[in-house]
Amino acid sequence: MPTDIIMPQMGESIVEGTITKWLKKPGDKVQRDEPLFEISTDKVDAEIPAPASGVLQEIKVTEGTTVGVNTVVGTIAVDGEAAATKSAAPAAKPAAAAPPKEEKKAAPAPPPMPAPPAAANEEEDEARSSPLVRKIAREHGISLSQIRGTGLGGRITKQDIQQFIDNQGSHPAHVETASQAVPPKRSEAESHAAPAAPRPAAPAPYPGDLVPMTNMRRLIAKHMIESRRTSAHVHCMYEVDFTRIVNLRSKLKTAFEQRHGVRLTFMPFFVRAAIIALQQWPIINASIDGDNIRYHRNINVGIAVALDWGLIVPVLKNAGDLNFLGLQRGITDLGERARTKKLKPEDVEGSTFTITNPGQFGAVFGLPIINQPNSAIMGVGGITKQPLVITDKDGNDSIAIRSVVHLTLGYDHRLIDGAVADQFMAQVKKNLEQWNEDVG
């Protein structure tokens, strides 16, 4: 009997999920626990592993379809069944022999076609790839028209171009057909399986196109509007002399990575500075519960992670109990699992305060929307060198080049008064400018 592939329940409150992408086609071999398909729920996007080893026999639920948990979405043929599936392929060929005749009739047209598409589709290739992908393509002398994108709407991801580069050395003869064909060794499996799970390559969207939102984008839109309607948003901004920490990180980052096996980033400095201030101003870590104020026992810091397909806020639980190394390891782990779709529903629940970092893309500062049901969110701007007036202990002023960062606090004025928000941010500023904690 084939093994059923089930839509999993990703948390107690999850009742359904949307299949966003199948990572295998019918006829493909799969290994147990190998990523098989991607789903999106109202909590997380995740890769779902195969429940058994064998051959993907059938896809019952197509991409973009939302189904309830425990629904059978496909089947895997195991052991002897997998062999039977392959042996049945030749018998299926005669039935599928009609389409090739039509292709032969159209055969005279293809010869003059190869050259024009490269030029005609140049803008499309640019539109369906990121600046990083285009940079990699230029460095390796690769035309994006040669690559079949597996991202949403046929978008070419970093993984697609990297796989193309890796395969170029071992399969140079197939470079020109990579954008439209599967390696010959899998043609038999795909020829008998194609009718069960067609995967048309969606064209990249152009100005004027009407494209449906992804599940994640719909949820982001819903949550942002709800937050605006719920909280009385006010923002304040503080300029911070970040020179001490920039110099400290520059001095310690190599030894830190060698000693602990994790990169030293700036984020744990911001998180730790905020935690110290939250412990002194617990109202910033509180939330409104009806006509009551709920003061949370723990400080659970949500850290926004920008993804190619949206934004997610995994939560560093009990952050107030972690030392600096624990913060860095936790932040790195959450970020990596967010980007590889390995987060669980509990990883994005229970935040009491949020930090977002628009500065990583060059923004001087941001005015973020509060992550409900939090009452505040801190935005971290870009770190830049600027001339600042420095006053020494004798009161003498001078101008020096310093590393500067702008921090903003978005807060719910229903709960937090402006004076309290300013005192909190003044403490964060002091914690950073006078940093004296052991980094490890």
pLDDT tens-digit readout, 32-46: 888 999 888 766 788
Query: What local confidence, expressed as pLDDT, does residue 425 receive?
Result: 98
User: Angle at CA 37, nearest 5°, toward 34 and 42?
Assistant: 125
Query: What local confidence, expressed as pLDDT, does residue 11 receive?
Result: 63
Query: What local confidence, expressed as pLDDT, does residue 46 receive?
Result: 84
Sorted by sequence, the CB contacts under 8 Å of residue 130 that are 6+ apart come out as: 157, 158, 308
Query: What local confidence, expressed as pLDDT, does residue 79 receive?
Result: 62
Is 0.85 topped by the overall pTM?
A: no
Query: What local confidence, expressed as pLDDT, does residue 126 receive?
Result: 54
Query: What local confidence, expressed as pLDDT, does residue 377 receive?
Result: 97
Active site residues: 413, 417
Query: What local confidence, expressed as pLDDT, does residue 12 receive?
Result: 57
Query: What local confidence, expressed as pLDDT, does residue 131 receive?
Result: 63
User: Angle at CA 49, nearest 5°, toward 46 and 52?
Assistant: 165
Sorted by sequence, the CB contacts under 8 Å of residue 242 that are 6+ apart come out as: 383, 402, 403, 404, 405, 432, 433
Query: What local confidence, expressed as pLDDT, does residue 158 receive?
Result: 74
**What's the CA gap between 140 and 135, in Å, rounded?**
9
Is 65 within 8 Å of 80 (Cβ atoms)?
A: no
Low-confidence ranges of the chain (pLDDT < 70): 11-13, 42-43, 79-131, 151-154, 168-204
